[in-house]
Protein backbone atom coordinates (compact mmCIF):
# COMPACT_ATOMS: atom_id res chain seq x y z
CA UNK A 1 0.00 0.00 0.00
CA UNK A 2 2.91 2.37 0.69
CA UNK A 3 3.71 2.38 -3.03
CA UNK A 4 0.19 3.41 -4.06
CA UNK A 5 0.83 7.20 -4.18
CA UNK A 6 3.89 6.71 -6.38
CA UNK A 7 2.00 4.37 -8.69
CA UNK A 8 -0.90 6.80 -9.00
CA UNK A 9 1.45 9.73 -9.50
CA UNK A 10 3.27 7.89 -12.27
CA UNK A 11 -0.07 7.07 -13.91
CA UNK A 12 -1.27 10.68 -13.73
CA UNK A 13 2.01 12.13 -15.01
CA UNK A 14 1.91 9.73 -17.98
CA UNK A 15 -1.69 10.70 -18.68
CA UNK A 16 -0.74 14.38 -18.54
CA UNK A 17 2.22 13.67 -20.85
CA UNK A 18 4.81 14.97 -18.39
CA UNK A 19 7.63 12.43 -18.82
CA UNK A 20 10.33 14.71 -17.42
CA UNK A 21 8.27 15.29 -14.26
CA UNK A 22 7.98 11.53 -13.90
CA UNK A 23 11.66 10.92 -14.48
CA UNK A 24 13.02 13.74 -12.31
CA UNK A 25 10.56 14.46 -9.50
CA UNK A 26 12.02 12.06 -6.93
CA UNK A 27 15.68 12.90 -7.55
CA UNK A 28 14.95 16.64 -7.59
CA UNK A 29 12.88 16.36 -4.39
CA UNK A 30 15.83 14.82 -2.58
CA UNK A 31 18.16 17.51 -3.92
CA UNK A 32 15.78 20.31 -2.92
CA UNK A 33 15.34 18.82 0.54
CA UNK A 34 19.12 18.79 0.98
CA UNK A 35 19.36 22.40 -0.22
CA UNK A 36 16.35 23.53 1.86
CA UNK A 37 14.47 24.65 -1.23
CA UNK A 38 10.79 25.31 -0.64
CA UNK A 39 7.98 23.52 -2.49
CA UNK A 40 7.27 26.41 -4.89
CA UNK A 41 10.86 26.54 -6.13
CA UNK A 42 10.89 22.74 -6.33
CA UNK A 43 7.84 22.82 -8.62
CA UNK A 44 9.37 25.68 -10.60
CA UNK A 45 12.52 23.63 -11.28
CA UNK A 46 10.45 20.64 -12.33
CA UNK A 47 8.38 22.80 -14.69
CA UNK A 48 11.54 24.32 -16.18
CA UNK A 49 13.03 20.86 -16.79
CA UNK A 50 9.83 19.76 -18.51
CA UNK A 51 9.78 22.86 -20.73
CA UNK A 52 13.44 22.46 -21.70
CA UNK A 53 12.93 18.81 -22.62
CA UNK A 54 9.74 19.59 -24.52
CA UNK A 55 11.56 22.29 -26.49
CA UNK A 56 14.36 19.84 -27.32
CA UNK A 57 11.90 17.22 -28.56
CA UNK A 58 10.04 19.82 -30.60
CA UNK A 59 13.25 20.91 -32.34
CA UNK A 60 14.16 17.29 -33.05
CA UNK A 61 10.72 16.72 -34.55
CA UNK A 62 10.96 19.82 -36.73
CA UNK A 63 14.39 18.75 -37.99
CA UNK A 64 13.13 15.27 -38.81
CA UNK A 65 10.07 16.63 -40.61
CA UNK A 66 12.23 19.04 -42.64
CA UNK A 67 14.06 16.09 -44.23
CA UNK A 68 17.42 17.81 -44.41
CA UNK A 69 19.99 15.73 -46.30
CA UNK A 70 22.42 16.66 -43.52
CA UNK A 71 22.14 18.74 -40.35
CA UNK A 72 24.53 21.66 -40.66
CA UNK A 73 24.73 24.77 -38.55
CA UNK A 74 26.13 28.15 -39.48
CA UNK A 75 28.68 27.75 -36.67
CA UNK A 76 30.63 25.37 -38.89
CA UNK A 77 30.56 27.61 -41.96
CA UNK A 78 33.90 29.20 -42.88
CA UNK A 79 32.95 32.81 -43.62
CA UNK A 80 36.59 33.82 -44.01
CA UNK A 81 36.89 31.58 -47.05
CA UNK A 82 34.13 33.50 -48.86
CA UNK A 83 34.69 37.27 -48.57
CA UNK A 84 31.86 38.00 -51.02
CA UNK A 85 29.27 36.70 -48.56
CA UNK A 86 27.65 39.26 -46.23
CA UNK A 87 28.25 37.53 -42.89
CA UNK A 88 26.27 40.11 -40.91
CA UNK A 89 23.23 39.53 -43.11
CA UNK A 90 23.48 35.74 -42.74
CA UNK A 91 23.69 36.01 -38.95
CA UNK A 92 20.72 38.38 -38.96
CA UNK A 93 18.75 35.90 -41.07
CA UNK A 94 19.64 33.16 -38.57
CA UNK A 95 17.32 34.92 -36.11
CA UNK A 96 14.50 33.80 -38.46
CA UNK A 97 12.56 37.04 -38.19
CA UNK A 98 12.41 37.19 -42.00
CA UNK A 99 10.28 34.03 -41.85
CA UNK A 100 7.74 35.77 -39.64
CA UNK A 101 7.70 38.62 -42.18
CA UNK A 102 7.26 36.10 -45.05
CA UNK A 103 10.39 37.29 -46.85
CA UNK A 104 12.54 35.21 -49.17
CA UNK A 105 16.26 34.44 -49.41
CA UNK A 106 18.13 33.71 -52.63
CA UNK A 107 21.71 32.44 -52.46
CA UNK A 108 23.39 32.81 -55.85
CA UNK A 109 26.93 31.84 -56.78
CA UNK A 110 29.13 29.41 -58.58
CA UNK A 111 29.24 25.75 -57.60
CA UNK A 112 30.98 24.60 -54.45
CA UNK A 113 30.87 27.86 -52.48
CA UNK A 114 28.62 26.69 -49.63
CA UNK A 115 25.15 27.76 -50.77
CA UNK A 116 23.59 24.50 -49.59
CA UNK A 117 25.39 24.76 -46.26
CA UNK A 118 24.02 28.25 -45.65
CA UNK A 119 20.52 27.15 -46.68
CA UNK A 120 20.72 24.16 -44.33
CA UNK A 121 22.01 26.39 -41.53
CA UNK A 122 19.16 28.86 -41.95
CA UNK A 123 16.69 25.97 -42.11
CA UNK A 124 18.09 24.52 -38.90
CA UNK A 125 17.91 27.91 -37.20
CA UNK A 126 14.22 28.18 -38.16
CA UNK A 127 13.55 24.71 -36.73
CA UNK A 128 15.19 25.81 -33.48
CA UNK A 129 12.77 28.76 -33.40
CA UNK A 130 9.84 26.34 -33.59
CA UNK A 131 8.98 27.04 -37.23
CA UNK A 132 7.92 24.38 -39.72
CA UNK A 133 10.55 23.84 -42.41
CA UNK A 134 10.68 21.75 -45.58
CA UNK A 135 13.80 21.01 -47.60
CA UNK A 136 14.00 19.72 -51.16
CA UNK A 137 16.06 20.10 -54.27
CA UNK A 138 14.46 21.68 -57.32
CA UNK A 139 14.88 18.42 -59.24
CA UNK A 140 13.23 16.37 -56.50
CA UNK A 141 10.25 18.68 -56.07
CA UNK A 142 9.58 18.83 -59.82
CA UNK A 143 9.69 15.04 -59.98
CA UNK A 144 7.36 14.77 -56.96
CA UNK A 145 4.91 17.28 -58.43
CA UNK A 146 4.69 15.48 -61.78
CA UNK A 147 4.28 12.14 -60.04
CA UNK A 148 1.58 13.54 -57.75
CA UNK A 149 -0.27 14.99 -60.74
CA UNK A 150 -0.21 11.63 -62.51
CA UNK A 151 -1.49 9.89 -59.35
CA UNK A 152 -4.21 12.51 -58.77
CA UNK A 153 -2.81 13.72 -55.44
CA UNK A 154 -1.29 16.99 -56.65
CA UNK A 155 -3.54 19.20 -54.55
CA UNK A 156 -2.44 17.47 -51.34
CA UNK A 157 1.25 17.90 -52.17
CA UNK A 158 0.72 21.54 -53.14
CA UNK A 159 -1.01 22.19 -49.82
CA UNK A 160 1.88 20.56 -47.98
CA UNK A 161 4.46 22.69 -49.80
CA UNK A 162 2.42 25.85 -49.28
CA UNK A 163 1.98 25.09 -45.57
CA UNK A 164 5.61 25.28 -44.47
CA UNK A 165 6.61 28.48 -42.74
CA UNK A 166 9.94 28.09 -44.56
CA UNK A 167 10.54 26.04 -47.70
CA UNK A 168 14.13 25.52 -48.90
CA UNK A 169 14.53 24.70 -52.61
CA UNK A 170 18.13 23.82 -53.28
CA UNK A 171 20.02 23.65 -56.56
CA UNK A 172 17.74 25.55 -58.92
CA UNK A 173 19.78 25.27 -62.08
CA UNK A 174 20.24 21.51 -61.85
CA UNK A 175 16.57 20.70 -62.21
CA UNK A 176 17.01 18.41 -65.18
CA UNK A 177 20.13 16.86 -66.63
CA UNK A 178 21.17 14.70 -69.48
CA UNK A 179 24.47 12.90 -69.30
CA UNK A 180 26.27 15.88 -70.83
CA UNK A 181 24.10 18.98 -70.68
CA UNK A 182 21.74 20.90 -68.42
CA UNK A 183 18.44 21.24 -70.28
CA UNK A 184 15.28 23.23 -69.50
CA UNK A 185 12.32 21.86 -67.61
CA UNK A 186 9.40 20.50 -69.53
CA UNK A 187 6.54 22.98 -69.80
CA UNK A 188 4.58 20.95 -67.27
CA UNK A 189 7.49 20.82 -64.80
CA UNK A 190 8.17 24.54 -65.17
CA UNK A 191 4.52 25.45 -64.61
CA UNK A 192 4.20 23.15 -61.58
CA UNK A 193 7.34 24.59 -59.98
CA UNK A 194 6.15 28.11 -60.71
CA UNK A 195 2.86 27.26 -59.01
CA UNK A 196 4.73 26.29 -55.83
CA UNK A 197 6.38 29.72 -55.68
CA UNK A 198 3.14 31.44 -56.60
CA UNK A 199 1.15 29.72 -53.86
CA UNK A 200 3.76 30.70 -51.27
CA UNK A 201 3.94 34.34 -52.40
CA UNK A 202 3.43 36.56 -49.31
CA UNK A 203 2.13 33.50 -47.41
CA UNK A 204 5.45 31.87 -46.47
CA UNK A 205 9.20 32.27 -46.81
CA UNK A 206 11.25 30.47 -49.43
CA UNK A 207 15.00 29.98 -49.65
CA UNK A 208 16.36 29.27 -53.13
CA UNK A 209 19.94 28.41 -54.00
CA UNK A 210 21.20 28.54 -57.56
CA UNK A 211 24.48 28.41 -59.44
CA UNK A 212 22.88 30.53 -62.16
CA UNK A 213 22.67 34.35 -62.19
CA UNK A 214 19.13 35.66 -62.57
CA UNK A 215 19.53 36.46 -66.25
CA UNK A 216 20.17 32.77 -66.94
CA UNK A 217 17.12 31.38 -65.12
CA UNK A 218 15.29 31.37 -68.46
CA UNK A 219 17.54 28.42 -69.39
CA UNK A 220 15.77 26.44 -66.66
CA UNK A 221 12.18 27.51 -67.27
CA UNK A 222 12.50 27.90 -71.05
CA UNK A 223 10.09 30.81 -70.96
CA UNK A 224 10.87 34.47 -70.46
CA UNK A 225 7.29 35.12 -69.40
CA UNK A 226 7.34 32.41 -66.70
CA UNK A 227 10.82 33.35 -65.52
CA UNK A 228 9.86 37.01 -65.26
CA UNK A 229 6.71 36.22 -63.29
CA UNK A 230 8.68 33.92 -60.97
CA UNK A 231 11.41 36.48 -60.28
CA UNK A 232 8.77 39.15 -59.74
CA UNK A 233 7.28 37.09 -56.90
CA UNK A 234 10.52 35.81 -55.43
CA UNK A 235 12.31 39.15 -55.36
CA UNK A 236 9.44 41.29 -54.09
CA UNK A 237 10.53 40.75 -50.47
CA UNK A 238 14.00 39.21 -50.71
CA UNK A 239 17.45 39.02 -49.17
CA UNK A 240 20.10 38.14 -51.77
CA UNK A 241 23.28 36.36 -50.72
CA UNK A 242 26.10 36.74 -53.24
CA UNK A 243 28.26 33.62 -52.93
CA UNK A 244 30.80 33.73 -55.71
CA UNK A 245 34.29 32.55 -54.96
CA UNK A 246 36.65 29.60 -55.15
CA UNK A 247 35.00 26.21 -54.90
CA UNK A 248 35.28 24.61 -51.45
CA UNK A 249 35.26 21.19 -53.05
CA UNK A 250 38.16 22.05 -55.37
CA UNK A 251 40.02 23.58 -52.45
CA UNK A 252 39.37 20.47 -50.33
CA UNK A 253 40.60 18.22 -53.10
CA UNK A 254 43.86 20.14 -53.30
CA UNK A 255 44.20 20.12 -49.49
CA UNK A 256 43.60 16.36 -49.39
CA UNK A 257 46.24 15.82 -52.04
CA UNK A 258 48.71 17.90 -50.06
CA UNK A 259 47.61 16.26 -46.81
CA UNK A 260 48.08 12.77 -48.20
CA UNK A 261 51.50 13.81 -49.34
CA UNK A 262 52.43 15.09 -45.87
CA UNK A 263 50.33 12.77 -43.71
CA UNK A 264 47.48 15.22 -42.90
CA UNK A 265 44.01 13.93 -43.86
CA UNK A 266 41.86 16.51 -42.06
CA UNK A 267 38.72 17.62 -43.90
CA UNK A 268 36.23 20.36 -43.26
CA UNK A 269 34.01 22.79 -45.16
CA UNK A 270 30.51 23.27 -46.47
CA UNK A 271 28.97 22.03 -49.68
CA UNK A 272 26.85 23.53 -52.40
Whether residues 159 and 82 share a domain: the answer is yes
Strand 205-210 and strand 133-137: pairing? unpaired
Whether residues 194 and 116 share a domain: the answer is yes
Whether residues 157 and 204 share a domain: the answer is yes
Cα separation of the two ends of the chain: 63
Assigned domain for 227 exists? yes
What residue numbers bound the domain in which 235 lies?
A: 67-256
Whether residues 98 and 56 share a domain: the answer is no
Whether residues 53 and 176 share a domain: the answer is no
Whether residues 203 and 221 share a domain: the answer is yes
Q: What is the pTM of this model?
A: 0.80
Q: Mind listing the pLDDT tens digit of every residue in the chain (272 residues)?
A: 456 888 888 888 889 888 988 898 889 989 998 988 898 999 999 999 989 898 899 999 999 999 999 999 999 999 998 998 999 999 999 999 999 999 999 999 998 899 999 999 999 999 999 999 999 999 999 999 999 999 999 999 999 999 999 999 999 987 654 334 455 688 899 999 999 999 999 999 999 999 999 999 998 888 899 999 999 999 999 999 999 877 655 555 555 666 655 555 444 444 56
Assigned domain for 270 exists? no
Assigned domain for 223 exists? yes
- Count of domains observed in the chain: 2
- CATH number of the structural domain spanning residue 217: 3.40.50.300
Region at 135 (left for phi over 0; alpha for psi -120 to 50; beta for the rest): beta
Give kind and range of the element (H or E) at residue 206.
strand 205-210
Amino acid sequence: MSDTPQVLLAHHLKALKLPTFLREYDKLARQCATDAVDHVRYLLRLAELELIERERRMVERRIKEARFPAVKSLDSFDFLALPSLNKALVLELARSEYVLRRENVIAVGNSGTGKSHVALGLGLAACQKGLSVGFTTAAAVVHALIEARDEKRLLRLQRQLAGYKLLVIDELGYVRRTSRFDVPLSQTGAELLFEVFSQRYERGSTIVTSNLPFDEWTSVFASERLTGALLDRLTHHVHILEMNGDSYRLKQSKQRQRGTRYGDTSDRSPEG
